[in-house]
Structure 1
Amino acid sequence: MKKLPLLGAIALLIAAQTPAYADDLEFMLANESSADLVEFNISSASSDDWEENLLEGGYLAPGYESGVLIADGLSTCIYDLRGVFADGSEVEDFNLNLCDLGGYTFTD
Structure 2
Amino acid sequence: MNLSTLALALVIPVTALSLAACSIPANFGSTSTRTNAEDSHFTLSNESSIPIVEFYIEAANKSIRGKNILDQPLQPTESRRITVVAGATCVSNLKTVFADGTSRKNENVDVCELGGLTQDD
TM-score with structure 2 setting the length: 0.64
Equivalent AA in structure 2 for residue 25 of structure 1: S
Q: Does residue 68 of structure 2 align to residue 66 of structure 1? A: no
Kept in 2, the 8 Å contact 1:25–1:77? The answer is no
Q: How many residues align?
A: 86
- Name the counterpart of 1:30: 45
Deviation at 1:72, TM superposition (A): 4.4
Kept in 2, the 8 Å contact 1:30–1:64? The answer is yes
1:16-41 deviations in Å (ceiling 9; x for gaps) = xxxxx971211111111110001111
Alignment of 1:1-108 (within 5 A): 23-56=38-71, 58-74=72-88, 76-108=89-121
Partners in 2 of 1:70 and 1:98 — Cα distance? 7
Which runs of 5 or more structure 1 residues have no equivalent in the other structure?
1-20
Deviation at 1:98, TM superposition (A): 2.3
The higher radius of gyration belongs to 2
Deviation at 1:66, TM superposition (A): 0.6
Which runs of 5 or more structure 2 residues have no equivalent in the other structure?
1-35
Of structures 1 and 2, the one with the larger relative CO (CA 8 A, separation 6+) is 1
CA separation of 1:103/1:22 partners in 2, compared to 1, >3 Å: closer, same or farther? closer
TM-score with structure 1 setting the length: 0.70
Kept in 1, the 8 Å contact 2:37–2:90? The answer is no
Q: Hey, which of these two has a bigger chunk of strand by percent?
A: 1
Percent pairwise identity: 38
> Deviating runs (4+, > 6 A) in structure 1?
none
Kept in 1, the 8 Å contact 2:84–2:112? The answer is no
